[in-house]
Chains A and B, each alone.
Chain A
Amino acid sequence: MFSDLDPILHSQLRLSIVSILMTVEETNFNFIKDATKAAAGNVSIQINKLQEAGYINVKKTFKNNYPNTTVSLTEKGRNAFEEYVKNLQKYIHPK
C-alpha cells in the first residue's frame, strides 16, 4: 500500500517534524516537542531516524548550561518532502 510514498516520511510524527522544519529555518528540540505534543523520547527517536536518513541536520550545543538541540532541514530532506507531497497528490487525484 502506498509504495511510492517515502517510508521515512510516511510516519505521523516524522512527517509532522519535517512539516515544521519546512515552515522554519531552524528550530530546537523543545519547539518540536511542544508543537507535536509528543513525548520527548519519541521525538528524539524520530529525529535520530531523520538524521540517519540525511533529511535533517542536528546540532547539539549548550545554552546557559542546558543542552540545546538545534534541528534544520537538509537539501535532501526538502527534496524528499516535495517528492512525498507530489506522490500524495497522485494518490489523491489519480489521472
Chain B
Amino acid sequence: MCHINIFNTENMDEKNFTPEESLSIISKTIEETRKKIQDNGHIMILWGCLIFTVIFSQYMLELLGLHKKFDIVWTCILFPLGAIYTFFYTRRKTKKNNIPKTVLGITIEAMGWVFGLNVLVLATVFNNHIGNALAPVIMILLAMTIIVIGLSIKYKPLTIGGIILNLLAFGTFWVNPAYYGFSLMFGAIVGLIIPGILLNIAKKRGNV
C-alpha cells in the first residue's frame, strides 16, 4: 500500500485509492483538525494561580489582622478580572487562529461558565446556608468540570488531576474548617496548574 499524504491533495482528487488509504485520510484529517482546535493550558494555569493567590492572600490578610477589611474586595476583584480576561483571551484566540466551532469546544466553554456561575451564586446568595462546606463543595464542582473536560479531550493528566481533586474534596470534610484553604490551594495545584503546564508542554512537543 502506498503511503498517502493528506496534504498533497491537489492533483489526486479523482484518483482511485484503496480503502486503507481512505481510512488513513479520515483519521489523519480528524487528528490534525483536533490538534488545531485544541486549547492550551494557559487558562487552566491562570485559574489555578488565581485560586491559589486569592486563598493564600486571605491567609496572609488574616495573619495581618486585615481579613475583615479586604478579603471580600480581594475576591470580588480578582475572580471577575480572571473571568473578563478568559472571555476576551478565548475570543481573540478563536478569531486570530481561525478556530472553528466544535461541539466539544462549546461543551467545554459551557462547563467552565456554568461552574463559575454556580460558584458565584453559592458564595454570594447561599453562603449562610452552606457555611463551611462551601470550600469542599466548590472543589467537587471544580473536580467534576476538570474530569469531564479531561475525558472529553482524552488528556489523562487532567482527568487524574480532577480525580485527585475530587478525593481531596471529600477528605476536606474531615479537616478542621480553618485549614480548608490549604485544601483549595493544593487542589488548585494538582487540578489546574500541573495539568495546565503538562498540557502546554505536550502541545509544544506536538503530542496532544
**A residues adjacent to B (C-beta < 8 A):** 1-2, 5, 10-16, 19-20, 22-28, 30-31, 34-39, 42, 46, 84-85, 88, 91-92
Contact = CB atoms under 8 A, between A and B. Distances in A.
B33 interface: yes
A61 to B, nearest CB: 15
Contacts of B106: 25
Contacts of A31: 36, 98-100
A11 B33 contact: no
B16 interface: yes
Contacts of A2: 16, 19
Contact of B101 (A25, A84, A92): A25
Contacts of B14: 11
B4 interface: yes
A46 B13 contact: yes
Given A1-B16, A35-B36, A15 B98 contact: no
Nearest to A45: B13
Contacts of A27: 100-101
A36 B6 contact: yes
Contacts of B100: 24-28, 31
A42 B14 CA distance: 12
Q: State the 10 A-B residue pairs at the shortest beta-carbon distance, nearest first.
A: A27-B100, A19-B29, A91-B19, A37-B7, A24-B100, A13-B9, A25-B101, A23-B33, A88-B19, A38-B9
